[in-house]
């Protein structure tokens, strides 16, 4: 399969370890229907020993195709993300003590000192994928009546919409 995308933290003592991986994912792994295509994710960076654990700082880049949630057109996107994490060995839970403190969002706890990069990358991609993908901020979507793509050409449907507050005013006027 892939080239090894693991590193043994125990082997990283004085010198930071530099790495540069490509990780292949299939769109299915993310369970997101609008995700039509995804490139290999490239992650390059280093792992260094810090007090009490290790730090990982890396640049993650990937691209793909998403389906716009308004007009249903596929569009290309790409991400280039620099991040850093602190890697700590998961402490055995001491009596009456729960040591979940500080910025846990940027901390990654492991049981096995051979850490695999793929799940870290997968999680970051999962977070970066938009819940409601839009081909562009002001996408006009499809006409709910005739289905025409309103980005391409405005259709002649008249969509009636009366603000309910207006309606209340009209009633008042008549009365
Ligand atoms: Zn769109
Ligand atoms: Zn229409």
Task: Express each pLDDT in 41-68 by its tens digit.
Answer: 999 999 999 988 999 999 999 999 999 9
Query: pLDDT digits over 156-172, tens only?
Result: 887 666 666 666 666 66
CA 158 to ligand 1 center in whole angstroms = 21
Q: Are residues 28 and 99 in the same domain?
A: yes
Claim to verify: residue 147 and residue 159 sit in the same structural domain: yes
State the pLDDT confidence band at 2, using cuts at 50, 70 and 90: very low
107 occurs within a structural domain: yes
What predicted TM-score, i.e. pTM, was given to this entire model? 0.76
Q: Is residue 34 part of a domain?
A: yes
The answer to whether position 162 is within a domain reads yes
Nearest ligand, CA of residue 72? Answer: 1
Q: Cα(64)–Cα(32) distance, rounded to whole angstroms?
A: 13
Count up the domains in the chain and report the number.
2
Q: Which ligand is nearest to the CA of 151?
A: 1
Does 123 lie in the same domain as 146? Answer: no
- Separation of CA 143 and ligand 2 centre (Å): 5
Mean pLDDT of the chain: 85
Question: Which residue range is the domain that position 175 belongs to?
Answer: 141-175
Confidence bin at 1 (pLDDT 50/70/90): very low
Q: How far is the CA of 140 from the centre of ligand 2 (A)?
A: 12
């Amino acid at each position: 399969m892939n080239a090894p995308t693991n590193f043994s933290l125990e082997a990283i003592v004085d010198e930071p370890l530099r790495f540069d991986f490509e990780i292949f994912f299939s769109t299915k792994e993310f369970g997101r229907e609008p995700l039509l295509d995804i490139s290999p994710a490239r992650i390059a960076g280093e792992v260094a020993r810090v007090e009490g654990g290790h730090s990982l700082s890396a640049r993650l880049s990937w691209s793909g195709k998403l389906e716009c949630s308004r007009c249903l057109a596929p569009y290309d996107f790409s991400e280039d993300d620099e991040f850093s994490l602190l890697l700590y060995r998961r402490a055995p839970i001491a009596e009456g003590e729960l040591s979940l403190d500080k910025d846990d969002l940027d901390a990654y706890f492991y049981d096995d000192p051979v850490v695999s990069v793929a799940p870290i990358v997968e999680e970051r991609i999962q977070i970066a994928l938009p819940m409601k993908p839009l081909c562009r901020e002001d996408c006009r979507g499809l006409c709910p009546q005739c289905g025409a793509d309103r980005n391409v050409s405005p259709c002649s449907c008249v969509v009636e919409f009366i603000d309910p507050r207006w309606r209340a005013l009209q009633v008042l006027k008549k009365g």
